[in-house]
């Protein structure tokens, strides 16, 4: 559907859990939110019901996120329910890849088409430090299993932090040489304590591009997608840049977010959110109208760069 600013909103990101099996330094380094017992999370049936309403008002694409979605043992059921809804044309997922080796084949069967994998270092010790104890080989194995399962495209998401992992930029670019991967660099955002206090550690994507003339710009095919893509001739994959801090792309934003506790958050960088659980449980016939009103009134843009402080850490919003 068209929102108040004339944007076509057709992309829903569903966080299915706040829990995670890592404790990343820029998200939740203490692990207090990632490992705590959730007081409330949407059931597969509720996720299906909300997504059906979303589809009726024009949502066509769904991304399943978390927390870490693969900590839910009913994740394939959730994906299968979403994929079966009339009007939903594309189902994807964002994961840290730790459990992907176990689930990749079944997710593909359930209807998952493509996948994003968070990977912030290719160095084993550094990966463990950034993720609070993660095992790099598990994520690398998950990537290989995703390729074997036929999930495509496979996008690698890397949050660059100055002085932490920005010396690995060329190593990530080299991943696209022999594998059909899209390696994407994401500017550090002011979400969570680390991001809010370390704006000096933002690596500006344009600086990366300017220093690497071999990267050739690819014309954008999806206006609503935040990434700008480049390619090195002869390489199988692509290199992407997501630049929320240095390049505001809100004018083309086409997405809406659903948190795992049943709130719609229309904008990642805006604390406004609407609880839809009462309507879902007590007046389901009004759900379509409520969602339509929320989507129509989606904010015009985020507040990053304006001393913004997020009311939720990233794992509690959904990636």
What are the structure tokens assigned to 217, written together? 């710009």
Q: C-alpha angle 202/208/214, rounded to 5°?
A: 170
Q: Is 276 helix (H, G, I), strand (E, B) or coil?
A: coil
Indicate the domain borders of the chain: 11-317
Neighbouring C-beta atoms of residue 293, cutoff 10 Å: 11
pLDDT at 268: 74
Q: What gap in Å lies between CA 28 and CA 192, rounded to an integer?
A: 8
Query: Within its chain, how far is the Cα of 204 from the centroid?
Result: 20
Residue 221's pLDDT band, with cuts at 50, 70 and 90, is confident
Residue range 11-317, CATH number: 3.20.20.70
Residue 314's pLDDT band, with cuts at 50, 70 and 90, is low
Residue 309 CB contacts under 8 Å (≥ 6 apart), including other chains: 190, 196
Distances (CA, A) of 290 to 6, 50, 223, 229: 19, 11, 27, 36
Q: What gap in Å lies between CA 14 and CA 223, rounded to an integer?
A: 21
Q: Read off the pLDDT of residues 256-283 as tens digits, 9 standing for 90 and up.
A: 999 999 999 988 767 679 999 999 999 9
What are the structure tokens assigned to 59, written together? 């949502």
- pTM greater than 0.75: yes
């Amino acid at each position: 559907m068209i929102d108040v600013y004339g944007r076509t909103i057709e992309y829903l990101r569903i966080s299915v859990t706040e829990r995670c099996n890592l404790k990343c330094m820029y998200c939740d380094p203490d692990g207090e939110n990632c490992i705590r017992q959730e007081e409330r999370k949407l059931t597969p049936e509720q996720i299906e019901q909300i997504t059906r309403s979303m589809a009726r008002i024009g949502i066509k694409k769904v991304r399943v996120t978390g927390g870490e979605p693969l900590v839910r043992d009913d994740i394939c059921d959730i994906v299968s329910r979403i994929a079966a809804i009339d009007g939903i044309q594309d189902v994807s997922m964002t994961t840290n890849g730790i459990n992907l080796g176990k689930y990749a084949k079944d997710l593909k069967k359930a209807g998952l088409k493509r996948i994003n994998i968070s990977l912030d270092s290719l160095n084993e010790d550094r990966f463990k430090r950034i993720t609070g104890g993660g095992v790099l080989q598990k994520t690398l194995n998950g990537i290989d299993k995703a390729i074997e399962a036929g999930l495509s495209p496979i996008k690698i998401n890397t949050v660059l932090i100055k002085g932490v992992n920005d010396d690995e930029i060329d190593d990530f670019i080299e991943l696209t040489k022999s594998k059909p991967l899209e390696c994407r660099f994401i500017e550090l955002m002011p979400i969570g304590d680390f991001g809010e206090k370390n704006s000096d550690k933002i690596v500006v994507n344009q600086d990366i591009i300017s220093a690497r003339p071999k990267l050739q710009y690819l014309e954008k095919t999806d206006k609503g997608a935040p990434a700008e893509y480049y390619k090195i001739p002869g390489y199988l994959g692509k290199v992407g840049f997501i630049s929320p801090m240095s390049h505001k792309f809100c004018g083309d934003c086409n997405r809406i977010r659903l948190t795992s506790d049943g709130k719609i958050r229309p904008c990642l960088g805006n604390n406004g959110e609407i609880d839809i659980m009462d309507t879902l449980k007590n007046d389901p016939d009004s759900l379509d109208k409520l969602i339509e009103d929320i989507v129509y009134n989606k904010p015009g843009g985020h507040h990053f760069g304006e001393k913004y402080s997020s009311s939720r850490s990233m794992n509690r919003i959904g990636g």
